[in-house]
Structure formats: C-alpha cells, structure tokens
C-alpha cells in the first residue's frame, strides 16, 4: 500500500465545500431571484407606459376589461439552461395578455368575413386599415436599460462574493 507524499489537512472538507458550491440548481435559483429583483424596475415602468382602453371589448368569445393588459404584465421565467427572466404580457393561467403584441406592434384590420391566406405578406393589400402600434415595452427597456445593467452587475458580484466567502 502506497502512502501519499504530501498530506493536506482539511482536504476532504474543502472538497465537500467545492461540491456544495457547484450545485447548478441552487445557483440558477439564486440568479433567477436576483434577475427578478433587477427586472422589477423595468416592469414598473412598462406598467406605467402600457395603454389602457376606455371601454371593454370582446375577443375570442370573452369580454376583455380595461386595464387587463397592465395586470397581465409580469416576469416570465425562460426555459433555457441559462437563468433568464423576460418582462412582458403573460398569457398563461389567470393572465389574459395574449393580445399584447397587437398593442405593441399594431395589426391589420380586415373586412368581416375575410378569409386570410397563409402566405406571409399576401394579405397586405386586402387590409382595410392598420392600427398604429404603441411600443410600450421598447420604451420601458430604453428608459431603464442603464440602471438595470448596473444594478445587475452589483447584485451578481455580491452573489459571487457570498459564494467565495462560503469557501472560507
């Protein structure tokens, strides 16, 4: 049986701490929490910029109340391997913001009963008119971009420092 040349005291404890730090689920969870905190500034700005209709309207067989799009704005957690948080209108669960992109980008209005072709661009001449878009999300992003980036850098740096401090 061979003996090691050098024996380091506390090596098993150090290895256990390094393995504890490398838990990807734990890291992703903490980074997502930080990203949600940082994105809250953009969310508040977007909620203040989103247009609110004056009256209720009907779409997809449901009545959509004024202010519905504002209520549906929120954090959307990305499904990619890297921690990602999006801000925008949510359409799942009790949120009904599926029409947010129509408000943001505008859309064509066709005659009632018009059957659309599935070819991209084929319907442009058949449209009666086009509603103007209101890019509320782009405005919110532009208004808060520098602040969010600086805040994210600070918080992620603090997170990394906490991880380093756990080692010692």
pLDDT tens for 87-146 read: 999 999 888 899 899 899 988 787 776 776 666 666 666 778 888 899 999 999 999 987
At 126 the pLDDT is: 72
For residue 71, pLDDT over 90 is answered with yes
> Residue 86: beta bridge partners?
76
Cβ distance 15 to 67 under 8 Å? no
At 142 the pLDDT is: 92
Rounded to two decimals, the pTM is: 0.74
Strands 85-89 and 73-77: antiparallel
The domain spans of the chain are 11-167
């Amino acid at each position: 049986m061979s003996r090691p040349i050098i024996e380091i005291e506390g090596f098993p404890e150090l290895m256990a701490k390094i393995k504890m730090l490398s838990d990807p689920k734990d890291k992703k969870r903490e980074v997502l929490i930080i990203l949600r905190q940082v994105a809250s500034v953009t969310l508040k700005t977007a909620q203040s910029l989103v247009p609110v209709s004056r009256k209720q309207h009907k779409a997809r067989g449901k009545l959509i109340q004024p202010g519905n799009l504002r209520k549906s704005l929120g954090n959307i957690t990305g499904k990619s391997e890297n921690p990602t948080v999006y801000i925008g209108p949510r359409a799942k669960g009790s949120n009904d913001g599926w029409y947010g992109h129509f408000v943001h980008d505008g859309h064509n209005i066709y005659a009632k009963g018009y059957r659309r072709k599935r070819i991209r661009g084929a319907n442009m001449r058949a449209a009666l008119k086009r509603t103007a878009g209101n890019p509320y999300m782009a405005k919110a992003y532009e208004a808060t971009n520098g602040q969010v980036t600086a805040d994210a850098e600070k918080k992620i740096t603090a997170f990394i420092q906490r991880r380093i401090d756990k080692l010692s």
